[in-house]
Amino acid sequence: MNDNAYAPTKIIAALEVLLAQLEATLTPYLAEGDGRTDQLKIKIDAFKEKAARLKSVLSKHQAADRRKRDLAKQNKANTRHR
């Protein structure tokens, strides 16, 4: 496998898909209102929230990297013109 297969965005997307499939599979059982299934629903929701936070942090990190690269390009261009 190449390094691109382990890209954080792909991992987060796969995690979101797996959580959605797990929830869809368990939907008939979650509707019954059993105490155990309520706990499972709470855990699934917590994992979804964590995945959403990871996605948010990743996008902020990528934006910061883009700004850093843009500043480096601008600095390089400015030093050439002097």
Nearby residues of 23 by Cβ (< 8 Å), 6 or more positions away: 30, 44
Cβ pair 8, 58 in contact under 8 A: yes
pLDDT digits (tens, 9 = 90+) for 17-71: 999 999 888 888 777 777 788 888 889 999 999 999 999 999 999 999 999 999 9
Q: Is the model more confident about 35 or about 82?
A: 35
Average pLDDT over residues 61-82: 90
Cβ pair 11, 54 in contact under 8 A: no
If pLDDT is split at 50, 70 and 90, which confidence band does 78 have? confident
Whole-Å CA distances, 79 to 20, 60, 66, 67, 70 = 51, 29, 20, 18, 14
Q: Is the model more confident about 37 or about 82?
A: 37
Q: Could you give the CA distance from residue 66 to residue 26 in angstroms, rounded to a whole number?
A: 40
